[in-house]
Amino acid sequence: MRLRAGLAASIAASMVIMAGCGSDSGEAEGGGSDTLRVVYQKFGNFTQADEHFTQVKQDFEAEHDGITVELVPIEASQNDYFTKLALMHGSESTAPDVMYEDTFMIKSDVDAGYLLPLDDYLAEWEDWDQFYDNAKNAGLGDDGSTYGVPMGTDTRALWYNTELFEQAGIPVPWEPTSWDDVLETARTLKQELPDVIPLNVYSGKAMGEASSMQGFEMLLYGTEDRLYDEESQKWVVGSQGFIDSLEFIRTIYDEGLAPTPQQALDPNLGATVTSQWLPNGELAIALDGSWQAGNWLESGEAPWPGWNDVMANAAMPTQNGQDPGAVSMSGGWTLAVGAGSKAPDLAFEFITMALNKENSLSYDVEASQIAVRQDVAEDPEYTEANPSFEFFSEIVEFTHFRPATSDYPQISNEIQVAMESVMTGQQSPEEAAAAYDSAVERIVGPDGVVSAG
């Protein structure tokens, strides 16, 4: 039976308490060998998770007499989701059996003792050979064991409204070759279409990991610098690329090329961009993810029949057009088994059903995900389902991944702090970068950092 899912990263960072993380209201209770608790995020554009897991629940219960699957959608933005999920792990009465786990949280959650290693199960699952090796690596802990089975992956680029470009006299297709090209286009849009927001780049703590990854790292990885030095396994400080990336953020906010800081610091901004600003022609350019089109499909959260006639894509250029000329970031979500599960065998069976070929195909189509199973990637139903798939698959060539360390979530938070201080005018890019460097050294220690250059 086909599934539909619109799961993707929808991200923000306000701290909340556990109230409200039950199936519809209240906290999930109980659990045991005859009950599976499946926990996932439900927020913004990504409420289709309910449809996905509801169907798997029905099929799983039909095949397992006497077993109840308890769905626990957490209605929270991503950073709040992580907070609530961590609290659930702290009690037997709320501990998840299966959970929706972001790849960048796996190593820190392994260190916290939240996840069960899956190697013995995967060795017996014949479908595991269909998953690409780079996708498998996203689920690894520092000990080399696998803790998450990938659901799909993604890339990021510039979405732009061709109708607004034509109104502003900007030729399409648009192929910017440097940051200056992007900024000059945004300035032209501001001048010619003053009622339109020229460019959105997620920034600040309210948008959490979207700010770090879709915003800042899409800039930084287009410079000569990186966040983390893989060879020395140390975090990079004193980076000119870090300062330059913050300067780009300062420029778009100071010149009114971006949303207002008040708009940008709304945790619901991701949903607003997808369901209102882009379809209504209120935003010209969005630095965003490959999954966007999934929301606009007939089965999506914000159907937009004409999206493919209006929206187009351009790769995000490197800072000065230096090789390889373009940049992208990739991430993704996995399904994992909780270390406190009372029914780990059943939990893994649930995962194999949710991510078999048929269900992975449906998920990838509906969520506009880049397929992580070879049999799905080669299926005509996948390749022909969405006209944006070809573009976003092609830029995998230029993509980067976040540092897969247990320190990364804390480092990511400091990136958001630096961005917010610059976008709100509290600090200059140089001051914010210096504060970031100090924070990183506090987190990892003096021996955990290396100077750029």
Question: Where does the chain hold its CATH 3.40.190.10 domain(s)?
Answer: 35-154+331-401, 156-329
Q: pLDDT at position 246, please?
A: 98
Side-chain-facing half-sphere of 282: CA atoms under 13 Å? 9
Taking residue 104's Cβ as centre, other Cβ atoms within 10 Å add up to 23
Give the mean pLDDT of 252-272. 96
User: Comparing 401 with 417, which gets the higher pLDDT?
Assistant: 417
The CATH number corresponding to 35-154+331-401 among 3.40.50.170, 3.10.180.10, 3.30.365.10, 3.40.190.10 equals 3.40.190.10
So what CATH class is 156-329? alpha beta
pLDDT digits (tens, 9 = 90+) for 173-214: 999 999 999 999 999 999 999 999 999 999 999 999 999 999
Tokens of 366: 């509906």
User: How far apart are alpha carbons 7 and 335 in whole angstroms?
Assistant: 12
With a pLDDT cut of 70, the percent of the chain lying above it is: 91
Report the range out of 134-138, 366-370, 433-437 with the highest average pLDDT: 433-437
User: How far apart are alpha carbons 241 and 221 in whole angstroms?
Assistant: 8
pLDDT band at 57 (very low <50, low <70, confident <90, very high): very high
Supply the pTM of this predicted model: 0.81
